[in-house]
Amino acid sequence: MSALLKWPVTEQDSLPLALWTSDEIARVTGGTASVEFQVANVEMDSRDVRPGDLFVALKGEAMDGHRFVEMAFGKGAAGALVDRPVDGPHVLVADTTVALEALAAAARDRAQAVRIAVTGSVGKTGVKEAIFAALDRSSRGAAHRSVRSYNNHVGVPLSLARMPVRSRFGIFEMGMNHAGEIAGLTVQARPHVAVVTTIAPAHIENLGSEEAIADAKGEIFSGLVEGGTAVIPADSPHFERLKRHAEAAGARIVSFGKADHADVRLLDAIPVSHGGTLVTAAMADARLCFTVAEPGEHWISNALCVVAAVSAAGGDLGAAGLALAEMGGLKGRGARHRVPAPGGTALLIDESYNANPASMRATLRQLGQTPATRRVAVLGSMKELGDFAAGFHAQLAEPIHDAKVDFAILVGEEMRALARELGKPSAHPLGNPLSFAHCDDPASAIEALEDFGLTAGDAVLVKGSNSVGLGKVVAHFAQAADRGAG
């Protein structure tokens, strides 16, 4: 009881508990409230509405959210943001998209939160989640972040609008397909810290080169508040390019990586028994030693990035170390499942949410380092590579062989280039073609994996661009594991 009595009281404890009142929504959006109400969250998808939510009826090219207002109220929405009168508590505005952006700006400005924006070709969601875990721990639950991959022109303002006034930290992911998109997002967030995890040929179909991708990612620094910090990868071949973007924005620069000039520099990385890594890093005049629970060399770099960002945000590095030691794999981004197999269980590694050449190589390397009786790779097409697609897919033959994959299941039209490469006798170091199957869709991949027959001790990597749908493969076998457990 004495410990509870000593719980520190801050000025933020006197702030309101409701996320928004109808009067506040009307005031910041220029709208008119039909009645008084309060909301606890903001939602744009009627399927995800929970009791107490504000449902924002957005209009897109193919869908009008106003068609689902009744469904939202049926699921417990406390109010709606609409551009036409509806039955139920609502705030009437001229344009719901513009109103959501106004709500986002008001949420940003009213909270005294340090805002961190995260982008990058690979690892941005995992880094965002790790930064959040560190800052949420040290702030006793006063950190906020974008959920899922809400990182586009709708997701970022929605995530901002959801930020409670009591927040001390806000972490926002930013993605892009074309040049200029991140510039618009960073202006909305106005971050104090802007992070680029790495540069790789994702979305190269639209941008044409890695240099153009680096320029597009570097737009994130343009929205920094005065005196803000840019966190950039020291090991990237595009380091100088990113640095120039940060300098142009007047940012303080903090770099991370193995390079001698890195501000957060890797000194040592020792694999530990559960698959993670014990990391020692140098930072200013201090040395840090912490465990990274997530396996794979790419998570060493991610961890250094997290430490740099948390430090720049004024967070607790001890809490960052604990968060990295406890991080579990995210759905579609490293989650691990034990699935039933004759004689015991097999390991299923879920990387089904996204894929590009850099992340494919990283996760295949991780598969090769995973102790296993046999290694299986279920690989889906990598999208948005344009004219570079055939070459990038064919180049995966080398990391597949390096990982000592016993059987590969290739899914999607773009994977034909890799199938041709793997079918060449010269593609195997010993002159023997790798055993593989090429499938058109996830259902065929499930059938191919079942025909192959998993046994105890096997390790299976499932990775591809989200649109390929390999999450269905993971769900099929994970559900089998749940049935077995039941």
Residue 137's CB is within 10 A of a number of other CB atoms, namely 18
Q: What local confidence, expressed as pLDDT, does residue 482 receive?
A: 55
End-to-end CA distance of the chain: 40
Q: Residue 449: which pLDDT band, with cuts at 50, 70 and 90? A: very high
Per-residue pLDDT reduced to its tens digit, 245-268: 999 999 999 999 999 999 999 999
% helix, strand, coil for the chain, step of 5 = 40, 25, 35
Q: Residue 479: which pLDDT band, with cuts at 50, 70 and 90? A: confident
| Distance separating alpha carbons of residues 113 and 167, to the nearest angstrom | 6
Q: Of the given ranges (134-138, 156-160, 351-355), which has the lowest mean pLDDT?
A: 351-355
Q: Is the pTM of this model over 0.85?
A: no
Torsion of CA 97, 100, 105, 109, to 10 degrees: 170
Q: Where are the domains of the chain?
A: 13-94, 111-326, 335-485
For range 36-42, the mean pLDDT: 97
- Evaluate if residue 1 carries a pLDDT over 50: no
CATH annotation of 13-94? 3.40.1390.10
Architecture in CATH of 335-485? Alpha-Beta Complex (3.90)
Architecture in CATH of 111-326? 3-Layer(aba) Sandwich (3.40)
Q: Residue 9: which pLDDT band, with cuts at 50, 70 and 90? A: low
Residue from 402, 393, 404 nearest 468 by CA: 393
Yes or no: say if 3 and 16 are a contact pair by the CB < 8 Å rule.
no
Residue from 307, 108, 110, 285 nearest 192 by CA: 108
Yes or no: say if 446 and 473 are a contact pair by the CB < 8 Å rule.
yes
For range 91-95, the mean pLDDT: 98
Yes or no: say if 205 and 127 are a contact pair by the CB < 8 Å rule.
no
